[in-house]
Amino acid sequence: MADHSSKPRWGQPLTGIISTAVLLLVALVTWFIFASPQGIFKYYEHPVLEFLAWMILVGLWQHMLFGDWPFAKIKNPVTRGSVEICINIVMTYVIIYGIFQGFLGKVILPLWSVDALVVRGLSEELAKEYVGGALTMVVLMGFFTYAFWTIIFKKWPWAGKLDGPSAGLAEWSLTTVVTIFAYGCLIYPFYVAVALKQPLAAQAPWWGGLMGFPT
């Protein structure tokens, strides 16, 4: 990860307390606006929820996997943060509406595309809910699968051998394979069988017998 060599503006623990309070306030405000059942988007949960979730995952890629490359060289933290947020939003839009809904959902997995589910007879509102949930679950799985190699294995075997985007791309490629495998084993069978009521569309959850559920 990048080393910004930041220093507490007001010393510790005051800086930590103020930072925590500010982050909590920002989180509460943005949650109420974009994701709260009482907020202005209360009747439009998706795609706002999965968009915010994917922004967090993309941020994890930017910082943990790629070490804020190439923006770590920007000295001003406000400028650096603003640029990375803008890049994050563009990347998130491309991933959701270009890669998942525009490509993968139409040629591989209809569960990732609103249009593909509508063609199969679902209403647009229901399709948005199912697709939003499916894409959000990719993020929930990715919180662990994309971070564990950096945290547990300390970027082995690329640490110190590859620089810049090469190390990040190598780690991202490996953890993406792990993410897809984990999603296919732990999320997809359950989601299709329970949410879509289509047990024939996927293998019955492999853990059903262990938990006493019919498979």
Buried b (16+ CB within 10 A) or exposed e, 30-54: eeeebbeeebeeeeebbbbbbbbbb
For residues 215 and 212, give the distance between their C-alpha atoms in angstroms, rounded to a whole number. Answer: 9
Q: What was the pLDDT predicted at 6?
A: 63
**Average pLDDT score over residue span 124-135:** 88
For residues 11 and 23, give the distance between their C-alpha atoms in angstroms, rounded to a whole number. Answer: 18
Residue 106, both tokens: 């139409």
pLDDT tier for residue 88 given thresholds of 50, 70 and 90: very high
Q: What was the pLDDT predicted at 191?
A: 78
pLDDT tier for residue 138 given thresholds of 50, 70 and 90: very high
DSSP for 192-214 reads HHHHS--GGGSPPPTTHHHHT--
Q: What was the pLDDT predicted at 74?
A: 82
Q: Considering the entire predicted model, what is its pTM? A: 0.75
Contact in structure between 35 and 42 (CB atoms under 8 Å): no
Residue 215 pLDDT greater than 70, yes or no: no
